[in-house]
Chain A
Amino acid sequence: MSKIMDDYLEGIRHYLGDRTDTEEILAEIRSHLLEKTQNDGGEVTDAALQDAIEEYGSPRQVAARYLEESHIIHPTYRQFLFRYTWLLFAIHYGLKILSFVFGDSFPIQPFGLDIHVTRWPDLFIQLPFTWIADFGLVALVFYLITQNPTDVRLAWPRFFRRSLKPVKMRGAEPWKLWAWITLLIVLLAAYFRNETLFFQTIDFKKPLTPLLQPDASQTLSLLVLALVGFEIITLLLRIRFRSLWVDFANTTVYMISFIFVLAIPREQLFLDSRLLFLADLAAWVIGFTLIILAYDLIRILRTVLTAKPFRTVEK
């Protein structure tokens, strides 16, 4: 009999955590269950006690009732948790991209952190870990704020608050997402099979001839894979957030990537020097694309900054 009760109360103790009144809570529940069992059946048997316990609720459910008013992160701050995480992530990962592009490091004082990325794969691998680390840091700060009895009014830039719902979003259709995922799978398969995505000729009956020099070949192949992966993330974010800031981030990343491609010396690109004219042609195409992207970036910024804070219902 006591084992059933002890196990049940031990379960509640586990979920209640470290409270000063735990023993008192458990003593009261024990007393209630014993009296109820006695009054319902006359005798306190294992079966009767089991029924009373089942009726009282699972340990987790019971403990939750006592914990309703204690929060790890207060509900009024929860809405800011992901916003601040994305903001911190944008800055943090942005610095990593800049570190890679310019080959520089960014020491973050006084925390002793040094943002320094030298290889493409690192940039790729660090993407999820950076987000998780930023989420953890923001959650920790919010936890500390919640434990503080003083009301803290969290800042959020006004232009982020503006409603962008009336703005027509681009490319949020699910079929596009699946098309990009398929493309990524195909490209990944091609890359892992041939260690490059660039060939002079495509004849599957003969060994494929690489187009680019080994370093450039690997860098540009990984860049293409990263951009396709980034496009998938962008589409997912568009479906979830429907914010023009997603487009802003997308265009910025493409611009940085294209500038990086332009910075590669043309002599280090092709295996066959007769193909150097292609580098000049590509430079012109990329340059022209950059102009279009810059125009797009200005258009997005203008739309975001001129959007009205509150949408009025038009009849």
Chain B
Amino acid sequence: MTDQPIGIEPEMNRGFVKILVLLVLETPMYGYQMARTFETIGYAVEGNTLYPLLRRLEKNHWISSRWEIENDRPKKYYRITETGREVRRHQLDIWRIQTSIIDQLDKEKTHE
């Protein structure tokens, strides 16, 4: 990861944020908590990107949610489902294949 948080907007990074969400939601978390977690590992995900994504993942039944009241404030906690774990496994496989292809091409380019 880079030292500085990276603003994530482009289409290319949506898939990546999706995997990140599916990875961190082994532990139940609410939106803001997730955004802070990503920030600490070097990725800045804006709320207006994160929440619609969470809604789409929930619609696909990859994550589930429940409302809780903490300090008089309602918070929506998310957690990965069994279907979500399956999807995550599949997406990580694809991600690794893509990364190895890019590495290979990058190596070939540097040897030229």
The answer to whether B76 touches A25, judged by C-beta atoms less than 8 angstroms apart, is no
- For window 64-105 of B, CB contacts with A under 8 Å fall at 73-76
Question: What's the interface size class on A, roughly?
Answer: 20 to 34
Provide the residues of chain B in CB contact with A29, threshold 8 Å.
47, 51
The answer to whether B31 touches A32, judged by C-beta atoms less than 8 angstroms apart, is yes
Question: Interface residues of B, CB < 8 Å — how many?
Answer: 17
Query: Could you mark each residue 37-50 of chain B with 1 if its beta carbon is under 8 Å from any beta carbon of chain A, else 0?
Result: 00000000011110
Residue of A nearest to B54 (CB): A28
Indicate whether A28 sits within 8 Å of B31 (C-beta atoms), given known contacts A21-B55, A66-B55, A69-B56.
yes
- For window 13-29 of B, CB contacts with A under 8 Å fall at none
- Chosen A-B contacts, 27 in total, with CB atoms closer than 8 Å, are A21-B55, A27-B76, A28-B31, A28-B51, A29-B47, A31-B30, A31-B31, A31-B75, A31-B76, A32-B32, A32-B47, A33-B47, A35-B32, A35-B73, A36-B32, A39-B36, A56-B46, A56-B47, A56-B48, A57-B46, A57-B48, A61-B48, A62-B48, A65-B51, A65-B52, A66-B52, A69-B56
Q: Known pairs A28-B31, A32-B32, A65-B52; list 10 more (Cβ under 8 Å).
A: A27-B76, A31-B75, A32-B31, A35-B32, A35-B73, A56-B47, A56-B48, A57-B48, A65-B49, A68-B52
User: In the complex, how many residue pairs between chain A and chain B have their CB atoms under 8 Å apart?
Assistant: 45
Provide the residues of chain B in CB contact with A25, threshold 8 Å.
51, 55
Residue of B nearest to A29 (CB): B51
The answer to whether B74 touches A27, judged by C-beta atoms less than 8 angstroms apart, is yes
The complex places the Cα of A27 from the Cα of B56 at a distance, in Å, of: 17
The complex places the Cα of A68 from the Cα of B52 at a distance, in Å, of: 9
CB distance from B45 to the nearest CB of A (A): 12
Which A residues have a C-beta under 8 Å from some C-beta of B?
21, 24-25, 27-29, 31-36, 39, 56-57, 61-62, 65-66, 68-69
The complex places the Cα of A24 from the Cα of B55 at a distance, in Å, of: 10
The complex places the Cα of A57 from the Cα of B51 at a distance, in Å, of: 13
CB distance from B66 to the nearest CB of A (A): 12
The complex places the Cα of A28 from the Cα of B74 at a distance, in Å, of: 8
Residue of A nearest to B73 (CB): A31
Residue of B nearest to A36 (CB): B32
Provide the residues of chain A in CB contact with B74, threshold 8 Å.
27, 31
The complex places the Cα of A30 from the Cα of B31 at a distance, in Å, of: 11
7 smallest A-B Cβ distances: which pairs? A65-B52, A57-B48, A35-B32, A66-B52, A62-B48, A32-B32, A32-B47
Provide the residues of chain A in CB contact with B46, threshold 8 Å.
56-57
The complex places the Cα of A65 from the Cα of B30 at a distance, in Å, of: 19
The complex places the Cα of A34 from the Cα of B46 at a distance, in Å, of: 15
The complex places the Cα of A35 from the Cα of B35 at a distance, in Å, of: 12
The complex places the Cα of A29 from the Cα of B36 at a distance, in Å, of: 15
